[in-house]
Amino acid sequence: MSIKSMWLNKIKWDENGLVPVIAQEAGSNDVLMFAWMNREALARTVDSGQAVYWSRSRKKLWHKGEESGNFQTVREIRLDCDEDVVLLKVEQVGNIACHTGRHSCFFQKFDGATGDGEWISVDPVLVDPETLYK
């Protein structure tokens, strides 16, 4: 490992070599999404200035926007007090962060007004997801 990448050692990676990552919009402070990174993803994010995540389902690196064009330009990277969660302050290119075609992945709000409670979609679909991906 090069001295240049020693900063990665400060992070408390989980047993799978991953760290949870929250992407927050730099201007609005909206929480856009949650994802995972491994060491290579975080290093590539720093080197490129665009968010690169680790896809647990596909078991490969995932450059956010590689298919949809909705890239995340990283403005700031923060590490929480326990050093086990990364926060990316991003500029969301294309205004769509969620694969459902919404601005944020956190579009479902709990409504406890009914006895059992329910999840209600409160943010609109801005782009048909079928048109986002090739």
Distance, in Å, from the CA atom of 44 to the CA atom of 48, rounded to the nearest integer, reads: 6
Distance, in Å, from the CA atom of 83 to the CA atom of 19, rounded to the nearest integer, reads: 9
Looking at the DSSP assignment, which residues form a beta bridge with residue 33?
A: 23
Quote the pTM value: 0.91
Domain boundaries, the chain: 3-122
Confidence of residue 114 (pLDDT cuts 50, 70, 90): confident
76 vs 117, residue with greater confidence: 76
pLDDT number for residue 105: 97
Fold held by 3-122: Ubiquitin-like (UB roll) (3.10.20)
Give which of 74, 76, 78 is closest to 63, Cα–Cα: 74
Distance, in Å, from the CA atom of 104 to the CA atom of 33, rounded to the nearest integer, reads: 6
Give which of 63, 71, 16, 67 is closest to 42, Cα–Cα: 63
